[in-house]
A and B are shown apart, each in its own frame.
Chain A
Amino acid sequence: MLSRRRKMFYSPVNRADLTELLGNISDNTFIIAGGTDLIIHLKNSKITDYSIIDITKIKEFHHISEDENSLHIGSTVTMTEICNCPIIRENYRALYDSAYNLGSEQIRNRATVGGNISNASQSADCSLVLFAYDAKVKIINSLNEEKILPIDEFIEGREKTVLKKDEVVAEIIIPKKERKSVFKKIGARKAVTISKISCAVDYAENNGKMENVRVFLGAVGIKPVEAVMLEEYFNGVSLKDINIEEVQQIAFKEVEKAIPTRASRFYKRIAIEGLIEDVVRDIL
Protein backbone atom coordinates (compact mmCIF):
# COMPACT_ATOMS: atom_id res chain seq x y z
CA MET A 1 0.00 0.00 0.00
CA LEU A 2 1.44 3.35 -0.98
CA SER A 3 1.51 5.85 1.81
CA ARG A 4 1.24 9.39 0.61
CA ARG A 5 2.55 11.84 3.18
CA ARG A 6 0.95 15.21 3.07
CA LYS A 7 3.54 17.90 2.50
CA MET A 8 3.77 20.07 5.56
CA PHE A 9 6.55 22.56 4.92
CA TYR A 10 6.41 25.05 2.08
CA SER A 11 8.99 27.61 1.08
CA PRO A 12 7.54 29.85 -1.65
CA VAL A 13 10.07 32.08 -3.40
CA ASN A 14 7.70 34.67 -4.78
CA ARG A 15 4.32 36.25 -4.17
CA ALA A 16 2.55 34.17 -6.79
CA ASP A 17 3.63 30.92 -5.15
CA LEU A 18 2.59 32.26 -1.78
CA THR A 19 -0.90 33.32 -2.82
CA GLU A 20 -1.48 29.90 -4.35
CA LEU A 21 -0.54 28.28 -1.04
CA LEU A 22 -2.72 30.71 0.88
CA GLY A 23 -5.63 29.57 -1.24
CA ASN A 24 -5.32 26.08 0.19
CA ILE A 25 -4.62 27.08 3.74
CA SER A 26 -6.14 25.26 6.69
CA ASP A 27 -6.64 26.29 10.30
CA ASN A 28 -3.52 24.42 11.27
CA THR A 29 -1.23 26.15 8.82
CA PHE A 30 1.14 28.73 10.20
CA ILE A 31 3.25 31.38 8.55
CA ILE A 32 6.87 31.44 9.69
CA ALA A 33 9.48 34.11 9.13
CA GLY A 34 12.12 34.42 11.84
CA GLY A 35 10.32 31.87 13.95
CA THR A 36 11.40 33.39 17.24
CA ASP A 37 7.79 33.82 18.40
CA LEU A 38 6.06 31.08 16.41
CA ILE A 39 8.28 28.23 17.57
CA ILE A 40 7.48 29.08 21.18
CA HIS A 41 3.74 29.32 20.47
CA LEU A 42 3.77 25.97 18.70
CA LYS A 43 5.65 24.36 21.53
CA ASN A 44 3.17 25.64 24.09
CA SER A 45 0.11 24.97 21.98
CA LYS A 46 0.56 21.23 21.89
CA ILE A 47 -0.73 21.17 18.32
CA THR A 48 1.20 18.48 16.50
CA ASP A 49 -0.61 18.29 13.22
CA TYR A 50 0.39 21.56 11.58
CA SER A 51 1.80 22.84 8.31
CA ILE A 52 4.27 25.64 7.86
CA ILE A 53 4.67 28.24 5.14
CA ASP A 54 8.11 29.84 5.33
CA ILE A 55 7.95 33.32 3.83
CA THR A 56 11.59 34.27 4.27
CA LYS A 57 12.54 33.36 0.73
CA ILE A 58 9.96 35.62 -0.91
CA LYS A 59 11.89 38.32 -2.69
CA GLU A 60 9.05 40.82 -2.77
CA PHE A 61 8.92 40.90 1.05
CA HIS A 62 12.60 41.48 1.61
CA HIS A 63 13.53 45.08 0.86
CA ILE A 64 13.93 48.55 2.28
CA SER A 65 13.09 51.30 -0.18
CA GLU A 66 12.05 54.90 -0.26
CA ASP A 67 9.84 56.82 -2.60
CA GLU A 68 8.76 60.45 -2.51
CA ASN A 69 6.23 59.97 0.26
CA SER A 70 7.19 56.93 2.27
CA LEU A 71 9.70 54.47 3.54
CA HIS A 72 8.77 50.91 2.62
CA ILE A 73 10.04 48.03 4.72
CA GLY A 74 9.30 44.51 3.56
CA SER A 75 7.77 42.31 6.22
CA THR A 76 10.66 39.83 6.33
CA VAL A 77 13.33 42.44 6.97
CA THR A 78 15.15 41.44 10.17
CA MET A 79 16.11 43.59 13.15
CA THR A 80 19.76 43.29 12.17
CA GLU A 81 18.97 44.50 8.66
CA ILE A 82 17.04 47.45 10.07
CA CYS A 83 20.05 48.37 12.18
CA ASN A 84 22.39 48.07 9.20
CA CYS A 85 20.33 50.47 7.10
CA PRO A 86 21.84 53.98 7.11
CA ILE A 87 18.55 55.64 6.13
CA ILE A 88 16.82 54.15 9.14
CA ARG A 89 19.68 54.92 11.51
CA GLU A 90 19.75 58.55 10.40
CA ASN A 91 16.10 59.39 9.85
CA TYR A 92 14.06 56.84 11.77
CA ARG A 93 16.01 56.76 14.97
CA ALA A 94 13.24 55.35 17.16
CA LEU A 95 12.81 52.40 14.80
CA TYR A 96 16.57 51.86 14.77
CA ASP A 97 16.70 51.91 18.58
CA SER A 98 13.76 49.54 18.95
CA ALA A 99 15.43 47.03 16.64
CA TYR A 100 18.89 47.61 18.14
CA ASN A 101 17.71 46.72 21.62
CA LEU A 102 15.42 43.86 20.73
CA GLY A 103 16.34 40.44 22.06
CA SER A 104 19.90 39.33 21.45
CA GLU A 105 22.19 39.13 18.45
CA GLN A 106 20.81 35.69 17.62
CA ILE A 107 17.22 36.87 17.84
CA ARG A 108 17.89 40.09 15.90
CA ASN A 109 19.37 38.03 13.09
CA ARG A 110 16.07 36.21 12.66
CA ALA A 111 13.25 38.36 14.06
CA THR A 112 11.37 40.31 11.42
CA VAL A 113 9.40 43.53 11.55
CA GLY A 114 6.36 41.78 10.03
CA GLY A 115 6.61 39.15 12.73
CA ASN A 116 6.82 41.75 15.48
CA ILE A 117 3.58 43.41 14.44
CA SER A 118 1.76 40.19 13.55
CA ASN A 119 2.58 38.70 16.94
CA ALA A 120 1.11 41.90 18.39
CA SER A 121 2.47 41.48 21.88
CA GLN A 122 1.44 44.22 24.30
CA SER A 123 5.15 44.82 24.84
CA ALA A 124 6.16 44.78 21.17
CA ASP A 125 8.90 47.31 20.55
CA CYS A 126 8.88 47.87 16.78
CA SER A 127 5.12 47.95 16.87
CA LEU A 128 5.15 50.80 19.37
CA VAL A 129 7.40 52.91 17.18
CA LEU A 130 5.25 52.24 14.13
CA PHE A 131 2.24 53.56 16.02
CA ALA A 132 4.12 56.77 16.74
CA TYR A 133 5.11 56.96 13.08
CA ASP A 134 1.47 56.54 11.92
CA ALA A 135 2.65 53.62 9.85
CA LYS A 136 0.49 51.60 7.53
CA VAL A 137 0.47 47.87 6.93
CA LYS A 138 0.12 46.29 3.50
CA ILE A 139 -1.58 42.90 3.55
CA ILE A 140 -1.96 40.43 0.71
CA ASN A 141 -4.37 37.53 0.56
CA SER A 142 -4.91 34.30 -1.33
CA LEU A 143 -6.49 36.19 -4.23
CA ASN A 144 -3.37 38.38 -4.50
CA GLU A 145 -5.45 41.36 -3.40
CA GLU A 146 -3.71 44.13 -1.51
CA LYS A 147 -5.13 45.96 1.45
CA ILE A 148 -3.48 48.86 3.26
CA LEU A 149 -4.48 49.57 6.85
CA PRO A 150 -3.28 52.01 9.48
CA ILE A 151 -1.36 50.05 12.09
CA ASP A 152 -3.84 51.14 14.74
CA GLU A 153 -6.54 49.24 12.85
CA PHE A 154 -4.28 46.32 12.05
CA ILE A 155 -3.50 45.58 15.67
CA GLU A 156 -6.58 44.84 17.75
CA GLY A 157 -4.78 44.12 20.99
CA ARG A 158 -4.17 41.17 23.28
CA GLU A 159 -1.93 39.58 20.66
CA LYS A 160 -4.66 39.74 18.02
CA THR A 161 -4.53 41.36 14.63
CA VAL A 162 -7.17 41.61 11.94
CA LEU A 163 -5.24 39.18 9.76
CA LYS A 164 -7.45 36.47 8.35
CA LYS A 165 -6.06 32.99 7.91
CA ASP A 166 -5.31 33.53 4.23
CA GLU A 167 -3.63 36.90 4.71
CA VAL A 168 0.00 37.84 5.19
CA VAL A 169 1.74 41.12 5.95
CA ALA A 170 3.76 42.13 2.92
CA GLU A 171 5.12 45.51 3.84
CA ILE A 172 5.20 48.30 6.38
CA ILE A 173 4.81 51.81 5.03
CA ILE A 174 6.04 54.78 7.04
CA PRO A 175 4.95 58.22 5.82
CA LYS A 176 7.89 60.54 5.35
CA LYS A 177 7.89 63.76 7.22
CA GLU A 178 10.32 66.05 8.88
CA ARG A 179 10.97 64.10 12.01
CA LYS A 180 13.03 63.23 14.95
CA SER A 181 12.08 60.25 17.00
CA VAL A 182 12.98 58.62 20.28
CA PHE A 183 12.42 55.14 21.65
CA LYS A 184 13.18 53.99 25.17
CA LYS A 185 12.32 50.84 27.06
CA ILE A 186 12.68 49.40 30.53
CA GLY A 187 12.93 45.67 30.98
CA ALA A 188 13.91 43.29 33.74
CA ARG A 189 17.49 43.25 32.50
CA LYS A 190 19.77 45.06 30.08
CA ALA A 191 19.27 42.84 27.07
CA VAL A 192 17.09 40.00 25.84
CA THR A 193 14.26 41.50 27.78
CA ILE A 194 10.58 42.04 27.19
CA SER A 195 9.58 45.66 27.78
CA LYS A 196 7.87 46.31 31.07
CA ILE A 197 7.23 49.82 29.91
CA SER A 198 8.31 51.63 26.79
CA CYS A 199 7.85 54.93 25.03
CA ALA A 200 8.11 56.16 21.47
CA VAL A 201 8.00 59.82 20.49
CA ASP A 202 7.79 61.16 16.96
CA TYR A 203 8.04 64.90 16.35
CA ALA A 204 9.39 67.71 14.23
CA GLU A 205 11.75 70.31 15.61
CA ASN A 206 11.28 73.84 14.28
CA ASN A 207 12.98 76.91 15.67
CA GLY A 208 13.69 75.11 18.91
CA LYS A 209 10.06 74.03 19.30
CA MET A 210 8.47 70.59 19.15
CA GLU A 211 5.64 70.19 16.66
CA ASN A 212 3.38 67.44 15.37
CA VAL A 213 4.16 65.39 18.42
CA ARG A 214 3.03 61.80 18.74
CA VAL A 215 3.70 59.93 21.96
CA PHE A 216 2.90 56.28 22.49
CA LEU A 217 3.42 54.04 25.49
CA GLY A 218 3.96 50.30 25.35
CA ALA A 219 3.13 47.55 27.81
CA VAL A 220 0.42 49.62 29.45
CA GLY A 221 -2.54 48.33 27.56
CA ILE A 222 -3.78 45.70 25.17
CA LYS A 223 -1.89 47.54 22.45
CA PRO A 224 0.26 50.69 22.27
CA VAL A 225 -1.48 53.56 23.99
CA GLU A 226 -1.48 57.13 22.74
CA ALA A 227 -0.32 59.43 25.56
CA VAL A 228 -2.56 62.34 24.77
CA MET A 229 -1.67 64.42 27.82
CA LEU A 230 2.03 64.12 27.06
CA GLU A 231 1.35 65.06 23.43
CA GLU A 232 -0.52 68.14 24.63
CA TYR A 233 2.41 69.13 26.78
CA PHE A 234 5.01 68.65 24.09
CA ASN A 235 3.14 70.14 21.15
CA GLY A 236 4.44 73.62 20.57
CA VAL A 237 6.75 73.58 23.59
CA SER A 238 10.15 75.20 23.30
CA LEU A 239 12.93 72.76 24.11
CA LYS A 240 14.38 75.17 26.61
CA ASP A 241 11.06 75.36 28.45
CA ILE A 242 10.64 71.62 28.97
CA ASN A 243 10.28 70.94 32.68
CA ILE A 244 11.22 67.35 33.42
CA GLU A 245 9.32 67.23 36.69
CA GLU A 246 6.16 68.41 35.04
CA VAL A 247 6.61 65.80 32.30
CA GLN A 248 7.11 63.12 34.92
CA GLN A 249 3.90 64.10 36.68
CA ILE A 250 1.96 63.88 33.44
CA ALA A 251 3.58 60.54 32.63
CA PHE A 252 2.53 59.21 36.04
CA LYS A 253 -1.05 60.23 35.24
CA GLU A 254 -0.85 58.61 31.81
CA VAL A 255 -0.03 55.24 33.36
CA GLU A 256 -2.81 55.63 35.93
CA LYS A 257 -5.22 56.42 33.11
CA ALA A 258 -4.04 53.51 30.97
CA ILE A 259 -4.03 50.75 33.57
CA PRO A 260 -6.17 51.89 36.50
CA THR A 261 -6.88 48.37 37.69
CA ARG A 262 -3.71 46.42 36.95
CA ALA A 263 -1.40 45.52 39.80
CA SER A 264 1.58 46.50 37.66
CA ARG A 265 0.53 50.14 37.74
CA PHE A 266 2.25 50.66 41.10
CA TYR A 267 5.54 49.80 39.48
CA LYS A 268 4.94 51.24 36.06
CA ARG A 269 3.72 54.66 37.12
CA ILE A 270 7.01 55.18 38.96
CA ALA A 271 9.16 53.45 36.36
CA ILE A 272 7.81 55.73 33.70
CA GLU A 273 9.25 58.72 35.54
CA GLY A 274 12.73 57.38 34.90
CA LEU A 275 11.84 56.34 31.39
CA ILE A 276 10.38 59.70 30.44
CA GLU A 277 13.41 61.48 31.85
CA ASP A 278 15.57 59.41 29.48
CA VAL A 279 13.23 60.33 26.64
CA VAL A 280 13.40 64.04 27.41
CA ARG A 281 17.19 63.96 27.65
CA ASP A 282 17.26 62.43 24.19
CA ILE A 283 14.94 65.12 22.88
CA LEU A 284 17.15 67.79 24.35
Chain B
Amino acid sequence: MKIETIVNGEKVSAEVDEKLRLIDFLRDNLNLTGTKEGCSEGECGACTVIMDKKAVTSCTVLAGQADGCEIITVEGLMKNGELDILQEKFIEHGAVQCGYCTPGFLMSAKALMMNNEDPTLEDIKRAIEGNICRCTGYIKIIEAIEDAVKEEKNVL
Protein backbone atom coordinates (compact mmCIF):
# COMPACT_ATOMS: atom_id res chain seq x y z
CA MET B 1 0.00 0.00 0.00
CA LYS B 2 1.06 3.54 -0.52
CA ILE B 3 1.70 5.89 2.36
CA GLU B 4 2.52 9.59 2.33
CA THR B 5 4.25 11.10 5.31
CA ILE B 6 6.58 13.93 6.20
CA VAL B 7 9.69 12.58 7.91
CA ASN B 8 12.13 15.03 9.45
CA GLY B 9 10.69 17.80 7.34
CA GLU B 10 10.80 15.97 4.03
CA LYS B 11 7.88 14.53 2.11
CA VAL B 12 8.13 10.78 1.80
CA SER B 13 5.96 8.66 -0.47
CA ALA B 14 6.44 4.96 -0.22
CA GLU B 15 5.00 1.62 -1.18
CA VAL B 16 5.09 -0.56 1.92
CA ASP B 17 3.94 -3.93 3.17
CA GLU B 18 0.62 -3.41 4.86
CA LYS B 19 1.64 -5.05 8.09
CA LEU B 20 4.80 -3.03 8.52
CA ARG B 21 5.28 -1.24 11.80
CA LEU B 22 6.35 2.37 11.84
CA ILE B 23 9.67 1.39 13.43
CA ASP B 24 10.41 -0.98 10.55
CA PHE B 25 9.40 1.63 8.00
CA LEU B 26 11.82 4.13 9.54
CA ARG B 27 14.71 1.76 10.06
CA ASP B 28 14.46 -0.55 7.07
CA ASN B 29 12.70 1.44 4.37
CA LEU B 30 14.16 4.86 5.15
CA ASN B 31 17.46 3.73 6.67
CA LEU B 32 16.87 5.94 9.68
CA THR B 33 18.44 3.54 12.13
CA GLY B 34 18.71 6.05 14.97
CA THR B 35 15.39 4.75 16.29
CA LYS B 36 16.11 1.58 18.27
CA GLU B 37 14.00 -1.46 19.01
CA GLY B 38 14.02 -2.60 22.62
CA CYS B 39 11.00 -4.50 23.89
CA SER B 40 8.75 -4.44 20.82
CA GLU B 41 5.83 -3.83 23.18
CA GLY B 42 5.73 -0.10 23.77
CA GLU B 43 7.06 -0.44 27.31
CA CYS B 44 10.74 0.57 27.12
CA GLY B 45 10.53 3.70 24.98
CA ALA B 46 13.69 3.00 22.98
CA CYS B 47 11.73 3.35 19.76
CA THR B 48 10.12 6.68 20.65
CA VAL B 49 9.55 9.10 17.77
CA ILE B 50 7.41 12.19 17.49
CA MET B 51 4.25 11.77 15.44
CA ASP B 52 2.12 14.87 14.86
CA LYS B 53 3.87 16.59 17.76
CA LYS B 54 3.27 13.74 20.20
CA ALA B 55 5.76 11.19 21.51
CA VAL B 56 4.77 7.65 20.50
CA THR B 57 6.44 4.26 20.59
CA SER B 58 6.96 3.43 16.93
CA CYS B 59 6.82 -0.30 17.62
CA THR B 60 3.11 -0.05 18.44
CA VAL B 61 2.16 2.06 15.43
CA LEU B 62 1.52 0.48 12.06
CA ALA B 63 3.13 2.25 9.11
CA GLY B 64 -0.31 2.60 7.52
CA GLN B 65 -1.45 4.60 10.53
CA ALA B 66 1.31 7.12 9.86
CA ASP B 67 -0.17 7.97 6.47
CA GLY B 68 -0.76 11.72 6.38
CA CYS B 69 1.26 12.29 9.53
CA GLU B 70 4.41 14.19 10.34
CA ILE B 71 7.20 12.19 11.95
CA ILE B 72 10.37 13.41 13.63
CA THR B 73 13.12 10.95 14.48
CA VAL B 74 16.39 11.51 16.28
CA GLU B 75 18.03 12.18 12.92
CA GLY B 76 15.77 15.19 12.60
CA LEU B 77 17.08 16.90 15.72
CA MET B 78 20.26 18.15 14.14
CA LYS B 79 19.69 21.21 11.98
CA ASN B 80 22.22 22.54 9.47
CA GLY B 81 25.00 20.59 11.10
CA GLU B 82 24.17 21.94 14.55
CA LEU B 83 23.13 19.66 17.36
CA ASP B 84 19.84 20.28 19.09
CA ILE B 85 20.20 21.84 22.55
CA LEU B 86 19.04 18.57 24.07
CA GLN B 87 21.76 16.62 22.29
CA GLU B 88 24.40 19.11 23.47
CA LYS B 89 23.23 18.91 27.03
CA PHE B 90 23.09 15.11 27.01
CA ILE B 91 26.73 15.06 25.97
CA GLU B 92 27.72 17.81 28.39
CA HIS B 93 26.09 16.13 31.36
CA GLY B 94 27.28 12.61 30.63
CA ALA B 95 23.72 11.41 30.10
CA VAL B 96 24.86 8.88 27.51
CA GLN B 97 26.59 5.59 28.41
CA CYS B 98 25.85 2.75 26.03
CA GLY B 99 23.63 5.10 24.08
CA TYR B 100 20.94 2.63 23.15
CA CYS B 101 18.12 4.36 25.02
CA THR B 102 19.33 7.82 24.12
CA PRO B 103 17.39 8.46 20.90
CA GLY B 104 14.17 7.49 22.70
CA PHE B 105 14.93 9.81 25.62
CA LEU B 106 15.83 12.64 23.28
CA MET B 107 12.54 12.32 21.44
CA SER B 108 10.49 12.16 24.65
CA ALA B 109 12.30 15.26 25.90
CA LYS B 110 11.91 17.00 22.57
CA ALA B 111 8.19 16.30 22.54
CA LEU B 112 7.96 17.77 26.03
CA MET B 113 9.76 20.94 24.99
CA MET B 114 7.62 21.27 21.88
CA ASN B 115 4.44 21.18 23.92
CA ASN B 116 5.44 22.83 27.18
CA GLU B 117 7.41 26.06 27.31
CA ASP B 118 8.18 25.85 30.99
CA PRO B 119 8.18 22.27 32.21
CA THR B 120 8.80 21.61 35.87
CA LEU B 121 10.96 18.80 37.20
CA GLU B 122 7.78 16.75 37.65
CA ASP B 123 6.78 17.43 34.05
CA ILE B 124 10.18 16.23 32.88
CA LYS B 125 9.99 13.05 34.92
CA ARG B 126 6.49 12.41 33.63
CA ALA B 127 7.59 12.94 30.05
CA ILE B 128 10.32 10.32 30.33
CA GLU B 129 8.50 7.81 32.51
CA GLY B 130 8.00 5.65 29.45
CA ASN B 131 11.73 5.43 28.73
CA ILE B 132 13.97 2.90 30.42
CA CYS B 133 17.72 3.23 30.86
CA ARG B 134 19.82 0.41 32.27
CA CYS B 135 23.07 2.31 32.48
CA THR B 136 22.86 5.84 33.80
CA GLY B 137 20.46 5.75 36.73
CA TYR B 138 18.51 8.58 35.07
CA ILE B 139 19.91 11.47 37.14
CA LYS B 140 22.19 12.84 34.46
CA ILE B 141 19.46 12.44 31.86
CA ILE B 142 17.09 14.51 33.95
CA GLU B 143 19.78 17.13 34.65
CA ALA B 144 20.54 17.36 30.95
CA ILE B 145 16.90 17.95 30.11
CA GLU B 146 16.51 20.50 32.90
CA ASP B 147 19.55 22.34 31.58
CA ALA B 148 18.24 22.27 28.02
CA VAL B 149 14.93 23.69 29.20
CA LYS B 150 16.68 26.41 31.17
CA GLU B 151 18.85 27.40 28.25
CA GLU B 152 15.96 27.40 25.84
CA LYS B 153 14.05 29.71 28.15
CA ASN B 154 16.98 32.11 28.31
CA VAL B 155 17.21 32.19 24.56
CA LEU B 156 13.57 33.05 24.03
Contact = CB atoms under 8 A, between A and B. Distances in A.
Contacts, number: 85
A40 B41 contact: yes
Contacts of A54: 62, 64-65
B96 interface: no
A110 B18 contact: no
Interface stretch (B29-37, B77-85, B125-133, B140-148): B125-133
Given A8-B19, A43-B40, A104 B61 contact: no
A191 B125 CA distance: 10
A7 B48 CA distance: 28
B4 interface: no
Interface of A: 7-9, 11, 32, 34-36, 39-40, 43, 50, 52, 54, 56, 80, 103-107, 109-110, 190-192
B111 A105 contact: yes
Contact of A52 (B18, B43, B112, B129): B18
Interface of B: 1, 18-19, 21, 40-43, 45, 48, 51, 54-57, 59-62, 64-65, 67, 108, 111-112, 126-131
7 contacts: A34-B60, A52-B19, A52-B64, A54-B64, A54-B65, A105-B55, A109-B56
B18 A40 contact: no
Nearest to A38: B60
| Top 3 A-B residue pairs of the complex, sorted by shortest distance between their CB atoms | A104-B130, A9-B18, A191-B129
Interface of chain B: mostly helix, strand, loop or mixed: mixed
Contact of A106 (B1, B21, B57, B62): B57
The residue among B18, B42, B108 with the most chain A CB atoms within 10 A of its own CB is B42
B129 A192 contact: yes
Nearest to A109: B54
A160 B75 CA distance: 42
Given A52-B18, A106-B45, A106-B55, A9 B62 contact: yes
A202 B62 CA distance: 37
Residue from B59, B112, B128, B130 whose CB has the most chain A CB atoms within 10 Å: B130
Contact of B57 (A80, A107, A190): A107
Nearest to B132: A192
Nearest to A110: B56
B130 A105 contact: yes
A80 B41 CA distance: 19
Contacts of A35: 60-62, 65
Contacts of B56: 106, 109-110
Given A104-B131, A106-B57, 8 more contacts: A11-B64, A35-B62, A36-B42, A36-B57, A39-B42, A105-B127, A106-B108, A107-B57
Nearest to B61: A35
Contacts of A11: 64-65, 67
Given A56-B65, A107-B57, A191-B130, A39 B18 contact: no
A80 B112 CA distance: 13
A25 to B, nearest CB: 16
B129 A104 contact: yes
A190 B18 contact: no
A39 B130 contact: no
Interface centre among A32, A36, A191 (most CB of B within 10 A): A36
